[in-house]
Structure 1
């Protein structure tokens, strides 16, 4: 059982899809950082609507 299977079984399908997409572009060994920013206040609503964010 892999680490993903033992800790986040519900994410396994998404991980497989992401791995497939990366491998199709030859990016299996690359590392990347991802960030999530949530705007609860709605102050950036126009930026989201215009596609800037």
Structure 2
């Protein structure tokens, strides 16, 4: 039935877009970036508020 072909293509498109997005998210969140500037990192232990 050729009338049902667009529905199949739509399902395949959605499936591959979903796989593509999951692959990109897994690659993005799996890396831990290390900051090169240590000045920007605050140490909360050394902060003392004087009221």
TM-score (norm 1): 0.31
Question: Quick check: which has more Rg, 1 or 2?
Answer: 2
Structure richer in helix, relative to its length: 2
TM-score (norm 2): 0.32
